[in-house]
Amino acid sequence: MFHIYCPHCEDHREEEEFHASGEAHIPRPLDPQSCSDEEWGEYLYFRKNPRGLHHELWVHAVGCRKFFNITRDTVTYEIKEVYKVGEKPSVTSSEKNQ
Amino acid sequence: MSDSTASNVESIAQMDQLPHKTGSLQPRAESPLYHADLATLSAHSADAGGVEIKEVKLLGHLVLRGSIEDAEFLSGVKEVLGLDLPGPLQSSLQGEFIAYWVSPNEWLVLVPGQQAFQLERDMRSAMSGNFAIVNVSGGQTVICLSGANAVDVLKKSTPYDVHNKNFPVGKVVTSVFAKTQALIFRSGPESWELIVRRSFSDYVWLWLQDACIEYGLVIKD
Amino acid sequence: MTQKNRIQSGGRVDRARALSFKFNGKSYQGLQGDTVASALLANGVNVVARSFKYSRPRGIISAGAEEPNAVLQMGATEATQVPNVRATQQELFDGLVCNSTNGWPNVDFDVMGIAAKVGGSMLTPGFYYKTFMYPQSMWSTYEKFIRKAAGLGRSPRENDPDSYDHIHQHADVVVVGAGPAGLSAALSAARSGARVIIADEQSEFGGSLLHSRENINGEPAADWVQKAIAELATFPDVMMLPRSTVNGYHDHNFLTIHQRCADHLSDKAPQGQIRQRLHRVRAKWVVLATGAHERPLVFANNDVPGCMLASAVSTYINRYGVVPGKNLVLMTTNDHAYQTALDWADAGRKVVAIVDTRPNPEGDLVEDAKRRGLHIITGSAVIEAHGGKRVNAVSVASINENGESVTGKISRLQCDTLASSGGWSPVVHLSCHTASRPAWNDEAVGFVPGATIQNQLTAGGINASYGLGDCLKEGTAAGNEAAMNAGYDVSATAPELKVEAISEGAPMALFHVPHSRPTSRAPKQFVDFQNDVTAAGIELATREGFESIEHVKRYTAMGFGTDQGKLGNINGMAIAAKSMNKTIPETGTTVYRPNYTPVSFGAIAGRHCKELFDPKRFSAMHKWHSENGALFEDVGQWKRPWYYPKPGESMQDTLDRECKSTRESVGILDASTLGKIDIQGKDAREFLGRVYTNPWAKLAVGKCRYGLMCGEDGMVFDDGVTSCLAENHFLMTTTTGGAAHVLEWLEIYHQTEWPELEVFFNTVTDHWSTMTISGPNSRKLLSEICDDIDLDKDTFRFMDLREGTVADVPARVYRISFTGELSYEINVQANYGLYVWEKLFEHGAKYNLTPYGTETMHVLRAEKGFIIAGQDTDGSLHPYDLGMGWCVSVKKPFSFIGKRGMAREDCVKPNRKQLVGLKTKDPLTVIPEGSQAVLDPTQPIPMTMLGHVTSSYYSANLGHSIAMGLVRGGLDRMGEAVFYPQPDGSVIEAEICSPVFLDPEGERQNV
């Protein structure tokens, strides 16, 4: 059971108030029609699923209904930071992201 | 009549949803807990107990959406309701009106039921730009919970920390409540208000009765 | 007094309050303050269970949560049955009824015991895998037999009469364990003003101090405990939870505490009381003061009843006034266990010998024993116990210094009790729950908590600090540190606690006592009593190539019981390490998961059962539906009227009547459950165009339009009608089940992709009551109670909406139709929903106004070929597959959600599954939904399947069955035959047709 700081409510809340919405920072291609099938498939289905630091999109579903990002260690489940949509993470993996 | 006229357009979007017949012709309004017949239950209810429950019926519930950076939005609210919209997890009381913070761009305002439409109209005319007002008066209700054990019933129902140090009088949060959700407002040292959705109100009512058994439940009408 | 092992004085039992209880059908007496185990021992009961695999008689071995044998079934009635009750933890109450769970037909005569004697040597690790794997079809037969014979307790067959509860707690400091370390930690944290919860699994706080003979500040330790409790009670923000096991330590300092509120009072909780409570606790800091479990030594026949842990023997004597035998032999690797021999002698019973595995023991307690003239045999071990249902003698032999071989000749000592101590294992379980791996401590000969990322501190026995002074000191320090970390001022110093130091000699690291014969030939040497895992079994596992301790665990089942191997695991790892010639740290340890001890289902369910299992959502008209005989269907959490049978009607009769009345006159449906989302903002229209497949740019105010919603993959997931209330204001409807998902869908795109669009979404599902009147007489009916809307067919046209009053209540009326009939959807503020509904019926009688539910709605819409998202779609169909290409606008400038997806190669290839109508050859046959289509029903199995039937009904209006289904390339196969083979061997033939069975021109709704 995570204890998650909601950057909009500015308060720690229990995990049951939130839903995870998968990997963060997967922008919708600006011109979908110019994407090849492979590019569109990458956008739709392919995710990093790393061991270690992971940037995730969560929503405070039973609360303010706002989406925000979490940087979480998938091994220890530590939440390293939360940040609003549109912001960049300050904690990043030393490995190069593809 | 041909296609919708301008006046028709406005009235569809902002509509006085309350009937205006009077006397015996007045259509019967049923609050979400009407079927539970709290009036009869209260007549047979114990006089004393650890928890007191009461439904505050048929208030006007208006959802305000807008930006706190939008001066016109804030002043429009202030002009009509006479209050400053509160910040995160706070409430703001002005006479018969109370505003609860819900999200960074959302507040819930409770007003006397009959005033909701006029207030909506007044606010709409006092603002322009990017805002929204939604009348949700039929969709939710207020359940007051008070007494020495009200806090224990809350602890059984919500994972949010309701201790004085974390939840002083005047604070408001939306959180999990049993298996549904509620807006929880602390109105006094031993009194709380729950705002729940209409379709879940029977579930919440059953839940509260069950959770209160060990403390003794007093039902008020 | 029949309690032959009860001593006359001492202990914390109340000799004035005798309690009766039943064990295996026999009545016994115990005392207030007893556990079931202490009462059984007081009565001289030796055998409490039969072992899992070999069916050997087993007795009580411990005095706490670690007990592997005395695991009982409790309950005086069928409804109050509780399995997995540890006799060592269950407090005795008058009238308690309990039974052994193992042993069939009973513990004293056991069928499996005989089988084990025959096949005993066969039951090696992996026996079940190796023997019962083949043939697989027989597994269910084997399983029943094995389970019955193993007897792991059973759940009640009747409803539990008790109430259980959950409660959420928040604390600055949670202290786990109320022994000396825990109590001192709680005290120091509480004095700082922090919010503290201290929980302990026992009936009283105090832990080891409840049976200790040591003094604190010159007073008996138990007196200090009382003072500590009294002080803690003065702090308003301290919660003390006795009889409360911290069962789980989860991420981010979340703990679950299982409190047994009334288990000690009676078979069923007293009226109005909660039986058990599950506390769900979020802690800023946690202090683990869980102590340590004594480790038994592994030797031959170490499971014969009468073999016990040394500390348990002391506990029974000092806390319960029970000496569990007459003649004691004590085997120890350490000084601490000498106390047991001293306690035994003080109770007036005979200490036959103290067998110390160390050649030269020295320390205060050793000296005490010497002074008292107790017989001490050094450099030796008990290598084997003798006896059947009770120890009657032990074999003692000298061993070499590292404890690996027997060096001298074997002598035999007569005794009825053998207490053993191999030292202590810190209770690291909770710290492991959060994936922290324990670390080996050579000096302490045990695993201690390893590094953790939790806000966790430890104190006392869990750190392998066993001296009372150290426990108190560490507790105080941990309490202070935790409170300080949680933001409290801890500068006020507390008085120091004075304890007499006891000097102790070094313990010997011995786990497995050698035997004169090799392990595999010697009598069984048990490591895990609950799962009958032996030293020989572990050695065999390593020989068979299981080198990882996790694999050894799974192969042998070591630690898999309800006791989680609390006693056996460390011994097992040591034995595995030795047989692989590795050190214990090299071998590593398995870890523990929640829960620490078994938790009843009642506590897990709490109040979320029966009526409160899941929320039931009701519309404002629900009362009317139930009073008028509706049966209900679950749609998500909503209870929707399914159909309204009249007396004597079959379901089909009702549907026929409801369908016909609607098409012939007028029917009414409660449509309040449909999701409704209010959309406002200057970009609302643009937003709709992006999330729906069809165009929205030109929808006029006062008009409605049907829309399809697709995922980015191009597949349909929801649909509904959206109306334009004002230029910048729309009302979207969704399916009943999809409402929450659609709202979140709109929000995620708005918040993460298109925040520049000025638009707000709010749910108004519950705010409006929606009633749909449908049928040729619906206009007449509406006109009777609505005089301010011009209902003329050319003024208020199909897909228009109007505002007015219905039955004097302001209403939005939509002329939309899901039945193909002339229909009006009346929306009023939900507080007036039932009132308006009743008014419609007051005026509807003359039109035979017929309420219909979801089933008739399904038939009526299927007659028109209208889809239901989620029934006719399954996430793999795009609009073209549904024959709804008319609802897709490829000309919209913005690449709406789904546009790119439905253009993928796979989506445009021929022969996709497509939705078509199906007309059965026999008009009365209704194809079961889910039936698979094939082209040739005579082809060999497995047949080539073309798709399945998604909707299928009998249509009373048409006089024949109707169906919709998916068929590969179906839209190009109109008129062709497909076949639906049935489980009974029959085949239903159908013709592919248009899904619009009734009124293809749409004339009925345009009247």
Token pair 């959302």: residue? B106
Q: Answer for the pair C691, C798: CB distance below 8 angstroms, yes or no.
A: no
- C911-1007: CATH class: mainly beta
pLDDT of residue C232: 98
pLDDT of residue C118: 45
Closest in A41, A44, A85 to C752, CB measured: A85
pLDDT of residue C492: 78
CB atoms within 10 A of CB C861: 18
Span C254-298, pLDDT tens digits? 999 999 999 999 999 999 899 999 999 999 999 999 999 999 999
CATH superfamily membership of C675-763 = Aminomethyltransferase beta-barrel domains (3.30.70.1400)
Of the residues B136, B169, B186, which one is the last residue of a structural domain? B136
Q: Is there a domain that residue A93 lies in?
A: no
Q: How far is A30 from chain C (nearest CA, A)?
A: 9
Residue C112 has which token pair? Answer: 């499996």
B73/B182 same-domain check: no
Contacts of C747 in chain A (CB under 8 A): 59, 65, 67
Q: How confident is the model at residue C102 (pLDDT cuts 50, 70, 90)?
A: low
Q: Do A43 and C251 make contact, defined as CB atoms within 8 angstroms?
A: no
Residue in chain C lying closest to B156 (CA): C167
Q: Is there a domain that residue A34 lies in?
A: no
B64/B46 same-domain check: no
Size of interface A-B (CB pairs under 8 A): 41
Average pLDDT of the residues in C648-670: 98
CA-based nearest residue to C334, from C465, C508, C463: C508
Percent of the residues in chain C that have a pLDDT greater than 70, as a whole number: 95
Q: How far is A94 from chain C (nearest CA, A)?
A: 20
Residue C542 has which token pair? Answer: 């390593």
Span C493-535, pLDDT tens digits? 777 889 998 899 999 999 999 999 999 999 999 999 988 999 9
Closest in C607, C616, C830 to B139, CB measured: C830
Q: Is there a domain that residue B221 lies in?
A: yes
Contacts of A10 in chain B (CB under 8 A): 88-89
Q: Do B30 and C835 make contact, defined as CB atoms within 8 angstroms?
A: yes
Token pair 């889910």: residue? C930
- Kindly list the residues of chain A whose beta carbon comes within 8 Å of any beta carbon in chain B: 8-11, 13-14, 16-17, 62-66
Is domain C622-673+767-860 in CATH 3.30.1360.120, yes or no?
yes
Contacts of A64 in chain B (CB under 8 A): 102-104, 106, 174
Q: Is there a domain that residue B53 lies in?
A: yes
Span B165-174, pLDDT tens digits? 999 999 999 9
- For C39-80, the DSSP string reads HHHHTT----EE-TTT--EE----SSTT-SS-EEEE-SSGGG
Q: How far is C169 from chain B (nearest CA, A)?
A: 7
Task: Check CB contact of C700 with chain B, cutoff 8 Å.
Answer: yes
Domain with B36 in it? 32-58+139-221
Domain with A15 in it? 3-29+39-84
Task: Check CB contact of C162 with chain B, cutoff 8 Å.
Answer: no
Neighbour subunits, A (≥3 Cβ pairs < 8 A): B, C
Q: Is there a domain that residue B49 lies in?
A: yes
CATH number at residue A18: 3.30.2270.10
Task: Check CB contact of B165 with chain A, cutoff 8 Å.
Answer: no
Whether C163-292+427-485 and C296-422 share one fold: the answer is yes
Size of interface B-C (CB pairs under 8 A): 177
Q: Is there a domain that residue B198 lies in?
A: yes
Q: Is there a domain that residue B5 lies in?
A: no
B221/B145 same-domain check: yes
Q: Do C762 and B136 make contact, defined as CB atoms within 8 angstroms?
A: yes
Task: Tell me what the pLDDT averaged over chain C comes to.
Answer: 94
Percent of the residues in chain C that have a pLDDT greater than 90, as a whole number: 89
Q: Is there a domain that residue B12 lies in?
A: no
Task: Check CB contact of B173 with chain A, cutoff 8 Å.
Answer: yes
Residue C142 has which token pair? Answer: 């084997």
Q: Is there a domain that residue B16 lies in?
A: no
Task: Check CB contact of A2 with chain C, cutoff 8 Å.
Answer: yes
B83/B73 same-domain check: yes
Average pLDDT of the residues in C560-565: 86
B209/B144 same-domain check: yes
B49/B157 same-domain check: yes
Closest in B173, B174, B176 to A16, CB measured: B176
B205/B191 same-domain check: yes
pLDDT of residue C448: 96
B68/B167 same-domain check: no
Q: Is there a domain that residue A51 lies in?
A: yes
pLDDT above 80 for B206: yes
Q: Do B103 and A8 make contact, defined as CB atoms within 8 angstroms?
A: yes
- For chain B, the DSSP string reads --SPPHHHHHHHHS---S----GGGSPPP--TTGGG-HHHHHHHS-S--SEEEEEE-S-EEEEEE--TT-HHHHHHHHHHH--PPP-TT-EEEETTEEEEEEETTEEEEEE-GGGHHHHHHHHHHH--SS-EEEE-TTTEEEEEEESTTHHHHHHHH-SS--STTTS-TT-EEEEEETTEEEEEEEEETTEEEEEEEHHHHHHHHHHHHHHHGGG-EEEE-
Q: Do B180 and C623 make contact, defined as CB atoms within 8 angstroms?
A: no
| ipTM exceeding the 0.90 mark | yes
Q: Answer for the pair C71, C50: CB distance below 8 angstroms, yes or no.
A: no
pLDDT of residue C119: 45
Q: Structural domain tally of chain A?
A: 1
Q: Structural domain tally of chain B?
A: 2
Would you write out chain A's pLDDT as a tens digit for each of its 98 residues?
999 999 999 999 999 999 999 999 999 999 999 999 999 999 999 999 999 999 999 999 999 999 999 999 999 999 999 999 999 999 998 654 43
The domain limits of chain C are 14-150, 163-292+427-485, 296-422, 519-582, 622-673+767-860, 675-763, 911-1007
pLDDT above 60 for C116: no
- C296-422: CATH class: alpha beta
For chain A, helix (H) and strand (E) counts, in that order, are: 1, 6
B103/B148 same-domain check: no
Task: Check CB contact of B91 with chain C, cutoff 8 Å.
Answer: no
Q: Among C251, C452, C749, C762, pick the best mutation site for testing chain A contact (most A Cβ within 10 A).
A: C251
Radius of gyration of chain A (CA): 15
Q: Do C166 and B138 make contact, defined as CB atoms within 8 angstroms?
A: no
Q: Is there a domain that residue B178 lies in?
A: yes
Task: Check CB contact of B89 with chain A, cutoff 8 Å.
Answer: yes
Q: Do B159 and A16 make contact, defined as CB atoms within 8 angstroms?
A: yes
Average pLDDT of the residues in C881-889: 96
B144/B221 same-domain check: yes
- How distant, in Å, are the alpha carbons of A61, B64, B87, C608, C694 from that of B102? 12, 10, 9, 27, 33
Residue in chain C lying closest to A30 (CA): C895
Token pair 């390593």: residue? C542
Q: Answer for the pair C905, C948: CB distance below 8 angstroms, yes or no.
A: no
Q: How far is C481 from chain A (nearest CA, A)?
A: 22
- Look up the CATH number of domain C14-150: 3.10.20.440
Q: Do B176 and A62 make contact, defined as CB atoms within 8 angstroms?
A: yes
Task: Check CB contact of C832 with chain B, cutoff 8 Å.
Answer: yes
pLDDT of residue C125: 64
Residue C680 has which token pair? Answer: 């406002």
pLDDT above 80 for C150: no
Of the residues B136, B153, B183, which one is the last residue of a structural domain? B136
Q: Is there a domain that residue A96 lies in?
A: no
Residue in chain A lying closest to B167 (CA): A11
Q: Answer for the pair C713, C901: CB distance below 8 angstroms, yes or no.
A: yes
B129/B157 same-domain check: no
Contacts of B181 in chain A (CB under 8 A): 62
pLDDT above 80 for C135: no
- Look up the CATH number of domain C163-292+427-485: 3.50.50.60
pLDDT of residue C122: 52
Residue in chain A lying closest to C752 (CA): A85
Span B51-109, pLDDT tens digits? 999 999 999 999 999 999 999 999 999 999 999 999 999 999 999 999 999 999 999 99
Topology of the domain covering C519-582: Arc Repressor Mutant, subunit A (1.10.10)
CB atoms within 10 A of CB C932: 18
Listed as own residue / partner, the contacts of C943-951 with beta carbons closer than 8 Å and 24 or more positions apart are C943/C981, C946/C913, C946/C970, C946/C978, C947/C913, C949/C918, C949/C980, C950/C871, C950/C872, C950/C915, C951/C858, C951/C862, C951/C868, C951/C871, C951/C872
pLDDT above 80 for B117: yes
Closest in B135, B163, B207 to C170, CB measured: B163
B43/B104 same-domain check: no
- Kindly list the residues of chain C whose beta carbon comes within 8 Å of any beta carbon in chain A: 250-254, 280, 282, 435, 453, 712-713, 744, 747-748, 751-753, 755, 895, 899-901, 903-905
Task: Check CB contact of C773 with chain B, cutoff 8 Å.
Answer: no
